[in-house]
Amino acid sequence: MKKLCFILLFCMMSAFGINCSAQNVAFRGVISADTILVGQPFDYQLLLTIPKDYIVDWKQFGDTLSKSIEIISEGELTTKPIENSDNVTMTQNLKLTSFDTGYVYVPEIVIHYSESMQDSIRHKLFTFEKELYVKTIAVDTTLAFRPINGVIRQGITAKEVFPWVVVLIVICGLVYLIIYLKKHPKNKVIVEEVKKKPTIPAIVTARAKLNEMRDKEGWNTTNSKEYYTDLTDIARQYLEGQFAIDAVEMTTDEIMQAVHALSINEIVKSKLQDTLITADLVKFAKANPSTSQNEQSFKDIDYFVEDSYAYYQEVEKKKKEEEDK
């Protein structure tokens, strides 16, 4: 009997612990109205309650939430601590609208989070789908039809005249130039040849910037976002100049897909990927890596630049050997 009571007590304590843990994280969406006129804006507020030390990958929105829901504007993501608690509330307001009529649905929103930088498990949270009714603008058919007004003649404005004045000035200038050249055939227009500055190799630029960061020990900083922006910009500009990869405009996944095509050693690729992922967490999830991790990211980028350049030299050497045959 005592053994049975102990088992029941243990089960109740376990269930209570699970409920307490589940209450630490909550994600919901709130719409300001459930009925709107077609094209009328309405607010959609996203609210996340989560422990302050958790790492959150907040969703990045585009122009639409679905084929029926369009995003007019996005408010800033704000974080506010909860009194007498280790939790914080993260809030973002979206201004939405819809040009479809009838019942439409604000889709569920998903975000990812992990309990720490070292945690490889990424959890998901979803909002509930919201139903919205979009009404058309009613037309009063009891009113009498009005006649169509004719075109009202407006006076000519300066804005309408300005383009014609510009065209006339250009034509007069061309006529004057033709006449002048006919009267002065011996006068030759001297065109100064613009000397092109020699292009600095991408590897030279990357090494110089890395050496400058090494001399300043840039990893000893309290501004992690600026540090990782500068560090990843060196890698992105190097990839663009050395391998013609438009890395400056690419996301981390797009960069790694392009680098994969270069057949570089997997260890070398992983060092670049680790630093790019850490930079994304710093910029978008407000992560704050340690000084040792900052220094390791610097070493990884330096390692990637040197090893990928060695790969580039081998490829160029093989090309030259094939051309000489």
pLDDT in tens, 44-97: 999 999 998 899 988 888 899 889 899 999 999 999 999 888 899 999 999 999
Residue 139 has pLDDT above 70, yes or no: no
Do the beta carbons of residue 94 and residue 75 sit within 8 Å? Answer: yes
Residue 13 placed within a domain: no
Residue 249 has pLDDT above 60, yes or no: yes
Same domain flag for 211 and 122: no
- Residue percentage of the chain with pLDDT more than 90: 33
Of 116, 135, 154, which one is at a domain's C-terminal end?
A: 135
Give the C-alpha distances (Å, rounded to integers) separating 317 from 88, 313, 323, 324.
57, 6, 10, 11
Which residue, 135, 166, 190, sits at the end of a domain? 135
Answer yes or no: is pLDDT of 220 > 60.
yes
Of the residues 135, 163, 178, which one is the last residue of a structural domain? 135
40 assigned to some structural domain = yes
Pair 207, 127 in one domain: no
Give the per-residue pLDDT at 115.
87
User: Is 115 exposed, middle or buried, given 0-12, 13-18 or 19+ CB atoms closer than 10 A?
Assistant: middle
Comparing CA positions, the residue from 90, 78, 26, 20 lying closest to residue 52 is 90
Q: Do 206 and 127 reside in the same domain of the chain? A: no
CB 301 within 8 Å of CB 239: no
**Residues 234, 304: Cα–Cα separation, whole Å:** 11
Q: Does one domain contain both 128 and 208?
A: no
Residues 215 and 293 occupy one common structural domain: yes
Query: pLDDT digit string (tens) for 256-285?
Result: 888 888 878 888 888 889 999 998 898 888
pLDDT for 13: 44
**DSSP assignments along 117-157, one per residue:** TT----EEEEPPPEEEEEEPPP--TTSPPPPPPPPPP-PPP
Confidence of residue 14 (pLDDT cuts 50, 70, 90): very low
> Which pLDDT score is estimated for 260?
86
Q: Are residues 206 and 126 in the same domain?
A: no
- pLDDT surpassing 90 at residue 321: no
Give the predicted TM-score (pTM) of the model. 0.41
Cβ burial of 114 (10 Å; 0-12, 13-18, 19+) is middle
Q: Does a structural domain hold residue 41?
A: yes
- CATH code at position 39: 2.60.40.740
Residues 6+ apart with CB under 8 A from 250: 236, 258
How many domains does the structure of the chain reveal? 2
Range of the domain at 266: 202-324
User: Tokens 């994304």 sit at which residue?
Assistant: 280
Per-residue confidence (pLDDT) for residue 194, from 0 to 100: 53
Amino acid identity for residue 103 in this structure: Y
Residue 87 confidence (pLDDT) = 92
Give 7 or 102, the one with higher predicted confidence. Answer: 102
pLDDT, residue 127, reads 93
